[in-house]
Amino acid sequence: MSRKYFGTDGVRGLVGEGPINPEFMLKLGWSAGKVFAREGRGKVIIGKDTRISGYMFESALEAGLVAAGIDVSLLGPMPTPAIAYLTRTFHAQAGIVISASHNPYQDNGIKFFSSEGEKLPDAVETAIEQQIEEPMTTVESAQLGKVVRINDAAGRYIEFCKSTVPTYFNLRGKKIVVDCAHGATYHVAPAVFEELGAHVIAMGIEPNGLNINDGVGSTEPEALRQRVLAEQADLGIAFDGDGDRVLFVDHRGEVVDGDELLYIIACDQLRTRGSCAGVVGTLMSNLGFELALAELEIPFTRAKVGDRYVIEQMLARGWRLGGENSGHIICTDVTTTGDGIIAALKVLFAFVITGKTLHELKSGMQKFPQIMQNVRLARKFDINAAPGVSDAVAAAEKRLAGRGRVLLRPSGTEPVVRVMVEGEDRALVETLCGDLAQIVKRAVA
């Protein structure tokens, strides 16, 4: 059965349109509850980011789950990886995240974690979709689910994050700017770094329901860059709205992206453990990252874009490190999903223990210029079948002469096609990307 609602990262869209409305969320909560109830009365944890519509959808999901006879524990605003962790530690049947991650406040979405804190299996998502088509009923009053609020969720997760670094590690004497994107990490991330001894300058910590990811956070790091320079900080750390992505800014004001952070972590594993089994990147990973790992004799492979596919490759190969250049970094030696704070701690460990600046730590990797343009789609469209596009891609690849890449990729979360060109010559890359984007626009018009 092809899935109608679940995409690669749950259900996501504009609030009030399609399935992102209270009526659907009520039915989704009930349908998920009915599926989970097949294994006996269960418990589901619900957490959310800071966007205003989260309250509405939390209530709707809660009502649906309770009507199906499922107990509910509410976390309130919490990072997505925290919800995965707490789902495991509270031995819940599932965790539900209400978030649209790095998207603006007008969007929202739902994704599930299994009892192990991992992505819900496809078979379970399919069963939930099948249940949605059934008429909604309510269990007898004595069988209704109960609802509690977990008041110490933030403290539990803070302690977990700190436990992922050695007890001797500290950040004393380090000045760090932390940008929480007015999102789910606002009351967690600054505390983690402060409790480890850092002098933290926090920004993006005043969520009002409408300002999540607005001019701040990992998707817009310019504000952090300026603040790091103004404060003469050692470095800056930026999270996205739900806390599963992280980017850094070094003391010179240069942005350090996910590929460079993965490189730093892999190098540190090589230094401290004597080896790094391998790293999983994606189709968007920079060619310079791949070449830098090759010089260190660290195996590398590319997965499709999306943490689901990165984790699949990691499990298949038995590797413990993977991620995306967007800053979605997965370290399965300590957790089950992409976690911005834990990835940041791994980078900070290398930063402190080696005594090198962040700029020095990333210097072994030279990124190729990579230009990307988004072409918006008015409808679903098979870009590979578009007239003239394949020929244009072939022509661009010929001009790159084996020292670059071209990638056309429909987004899994937005109605756009991403046109990416990468190569050694920035001017050529910019020209080719612009030309290809125009050809794609005409093809999908």
Residue that the structure tokens 């302690």 belong to: 159
| 236 SS3 class | strand
The CATH architecture one would assign to domain 157-362 is 3-Layer(aba) Sandwich (3.40)
Per-domain residue ranges of the chain: 11-151, 157-362, 370-444
What is the reported pLDDT for 443? 82
- Answer yes or no: are the C-beta atoms of 383 and 389 closer than 8 Å: yes
Per-residue pLDDT of the chain (445 residues; tens, 9 = 90+): 467 888 777 899 999 999 999 999 999 999 999 999 998 778 999 999 999 999 999 999 999 999 999 999 999 999 999 999 999 999 999 999 999 999 999 999 999 999 999 988 889 999 999 999 999 999 999 999 999 999 999 999 999 999 999 999 999 999 999 999 999 999 999 999 999 999 999 999 999 999 999 999 999 999 999 999 999 999 999 999 999 999 999 999 999 999 999 999 999 999 999 999 999 999 999 999 999 999 999 999 999 988 889 999 999 999 999 999 999 999 999 999 999 999 999 999 999 999 999 999 999 999 999 999 998 887 666 776 677 888 899 999 999 988 889 999 887 667 888 999 999 999 999 999 999 999 988 887 7
Q: What is the pLDDT, as a whole number, of residue 1?
A: 47
Q: How far apart are alpha carbons 247 and 328 in whole angstroms?
A: 9
What the block records as the tokens of 269 is 């594993």
Identical topology for domains 11-151 and 157-362: yes
* Closest C-alpha among 416, 400, 103, 288 to residue 408: 416
Return the closest-CA partner of residue 80 out of 115, 117, 105: 117
Catalytic option among 31, 73, 99, 101: 101
Is residue 101 annotated as a catalytic residue, yes or no? yes
**Cα separation of 171 and 159, whole Å?**
16
The class that CATH gives domain 11-151 is: alpha beta
Helix pair 340-354, 258-273: axis angle to 10 deg: 50
370-444 topology per CATH:
TATA-Binding Protein (3.30.310)
User: Dmax over Cα atoms in the chain, in whole Å?
Assistant: 70
Q: Which two tokens stand for residue 282?
A: 């994606």
Within 369-441, strands assigned E span 370-376, 404-410, 416-423
Burial of residue 377 (CB within 10 Å: 0-12, 13-18, 19+) is: middle
Q: What is the pTM of this model?
A: 0.91
